[in-house]
């Protein structure tokens, strides 16, 4: 069992994902600034897991507070701001801080700080347990949709599925979003092989998804991101399924850079391409993908490969961490409540309400 994140005795525990698959190092900290740094540096990553860790990070921040009740609102405001500044794209982070603010708004006036903190811890734990349950629900809805959409192919053979980045236990604490669907479909005998795109530049597909699949004994093969169109042309991919960092009200979806390129190829070759994400990843407050803030990361993530300089230090670099796949390219969005196929503007709103 992979233990991606834990919170016991006021201590956050997490597997440092930067070191995987070569080293499994479990970090424990009571320092909320170290937890923020873990989110920033992708020691923990993946939209639902970022949300879970953000909730616990707020708790660590509360536990280190030693001032008066009068001074607390100022401290709390700064703490939330610091947590929210860690990564901009995954909406789950803001979903988690919003939950903490709701508890604060409802109970600050009446409760002593200790009681308020205890209620916030309950809320943080609920984000964690909800995301685990969400994964199981997505897995069922997703496998059912695939069975239905690809019924003709399934009459004669099992399916080869493309996925991008890492959307499994490491990204969610549960079985996963897209990878949870794949694991479930594998158990149901629908999957021949998983094709994991490496996911440049930090290689979440090659390092993390491969690591998870190996542990589960699910057959897989890793490819470079730029191979997917060729594999589709050769009929080697039956469907694609990826996760999401933020889904706009119209279904446009931000996910790891490279996701959109696979979607364009899939549309050329009529390969169904799905998104799997919990309802907590839907941002109904924005109309379309052009309004999703896209994180730009350091140039050195491209100019170096895991510490080795491969481009000159002065090479100009544009390093977007995510792209946006317009909803027209998405065959279906699998959520924990149900799988939605088309008509996203109405259906997603209904899910969030
Ligand atoms: O930069 P990362 O590794 O946090 O990006 C993660 C992704 O893009 C995932 O596909 C997404 O968060 C969905 S995780 C279930």
Residue range 47-75, pLDDT digits in tens: 999 999 999 999 999 999 999 999 999 99
Which string of b and e fits 79-113 if b means at least 16 CB within 10 Å? bbeebbebbbbbbbbbbbbebbeebbeebeeebee
Q: Which of 5, 42, 43, 45, when mutated, tests ligand 1's pocket best, judged by the most ligand atoms within 8 Å of its CB?
A: 45
Q: Is the CB of 246 under 6 A from ligand 1?
A: no
167 lines ligand 1 (CB under 6 A): yes
User: Which residues neighbour 241 within 8 Å (Cβ) at sequence distance 6 or greater?
Assistant: 142, 146, 161, 162, 163, 178, 181, 182, 273, 274, 275, 276, 334
How many whole angstroms separate alpha carbon 55 and alpha carbon 60? 9
CATH number of 134-352: 3.40.50.10470
Residue 204 CB less than 6 A away from ligand 1 = yes
Active site residues: 245
Give residue 47's pLDDT: 96
From the CB of residue 277, how many other CB atoms can be counted at a distance below 10 Å? 29
Q: What pLDDT score was predicted for residue 306?
A: 86
- What separation in Å is there between the alpha carbon of 170 and the centre of ligand 1? 10
Mean pLDDT (10-residue bins), the chain, 353 residues: 94 98 98 98 97 98 97 98 97 97 98 98 98 98 98 98 98 98 98 98 98 98 98 98 98 98 98 97 97 97 94 98 98 98 97 94
Output the CA 191–ligand 1 centroid distance in Å: 23
Q: Output the CA 110–ligand 1 centroid distance in Å.
A: 39
Q: What would the pLDDT profile of 280-313 be if each residue is shown by its tens digit?
A: 999 999 999 999 999 999 999 999 998 899 999 9
Contact (Cβ atoms closer than 8 angstroms) between residue 189 and residue 150: no
- Ligand 1 pocket, residue 89 CB under 6 Å: no
Q: Which residue has the tokens 């897209």?
A: 178
d(CA 49, CA 237): 28
Structure-token match 């834990």, residue found: 6
Q: Is 48 in the pocket of ligand 1 (CB under 6 A)?
A: yes
Q: Where are the domains of the chain?
A: 5-131, 134-352
Angle at 108 between CA 103 and CA 114, to 5 degrees: 90
- Ligand 1 site-directed mutation target among 255, 257, 277, 279, most atoms within 8 Å of CB: 255
CA of 255 to the centre of ligand 1 (A): 6
Enter the pTM of the model.
0.97
pLDDT at residue number 138: 98
Tell me, what's the pLDDT at 351? 97
CA atoms within 13 A on the CB side of 40: 12
**DSSP bridge partners of 339:** 334
Is domain 5-131 annotated with CATH 1.20.120.420?
Answer: yes
- Closest atom, ligand 1, to C-alpha of 50: 4
Which is it for strands 322-325 and 253-256: parallel, antiparallel or unpaired? antiparallel
For 4, phi then psi, to 5°, come to -70, -35
């Amino acid at each position: 069992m992979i233990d991606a994140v834990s919170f016991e005795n006021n201590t956050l525990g997490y597997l440092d994902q930067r070191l995987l698959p070569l080293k499994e190092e479990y970090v424990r900290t009571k320092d909320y600034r170290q937890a923020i740094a873990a989110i920033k540096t992708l020691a923990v990553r993946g939209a639902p897991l970022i949300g879970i860790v953000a909730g616990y990070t707020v708790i660590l921040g509360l536990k280190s507070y030693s001032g008066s009740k009068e001074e607390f609102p100022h401290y709390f405001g700064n703490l939330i701001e610091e947590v929210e500044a860690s990564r901009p794209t995954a909406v789950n982070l803001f979903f988690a801080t919003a939950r903490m603010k709701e508890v604060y708004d409802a109970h600050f006036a009446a409760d002593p700080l200790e009681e308020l903190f205890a209620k916030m811890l309950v809320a943080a734990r609920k984000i964690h347990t909800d995301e685990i349950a969400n994964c199981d629900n997505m897995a069922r809805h997703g496998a059912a949709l695939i069975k239905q959409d690809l019924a003709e192919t399934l009459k004669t053979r099992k399916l080869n599925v493309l996925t991008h980045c890492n959307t499994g236990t490491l990204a969610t604490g549960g079985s996963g979003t897209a990878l949870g669907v794949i694991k479930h479909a594998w158990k149901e005998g629908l999957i021949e092989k998983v094709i994991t795109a490496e996911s440049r530049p930090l290689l979440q597909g090659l390092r993390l998804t491969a690591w998870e699949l190996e542990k589960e004994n699910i057959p897989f093969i890793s490819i470079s991101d730029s191979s997917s169109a060729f594999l589709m042309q050769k009929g080697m991919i039956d469907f694609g399924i990826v996760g999401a960092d933020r889904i706009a009200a119209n279904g446009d979806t931000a996910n790891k850079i490279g996701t959109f390129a696979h979607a364009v190829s899939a549309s050329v070759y009529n390969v169904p391409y799905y998104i799997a994400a919990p309802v907590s990843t839907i941002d109904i407050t924005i109309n379309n993908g052009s309004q999703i803030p896209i994180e730009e990361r350091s140039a050195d993530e491209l100019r170096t490969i895991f510490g080795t300089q491969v481009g000159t230090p002065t090479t100009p670099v544009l390093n977007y961490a995510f792209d946006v796949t317009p909803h027209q390219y998405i065959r279906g969005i699998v959520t924990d409540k149900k799988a939605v196929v088309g008509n996203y503007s109405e259906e997603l709103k209904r899910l969030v309400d």
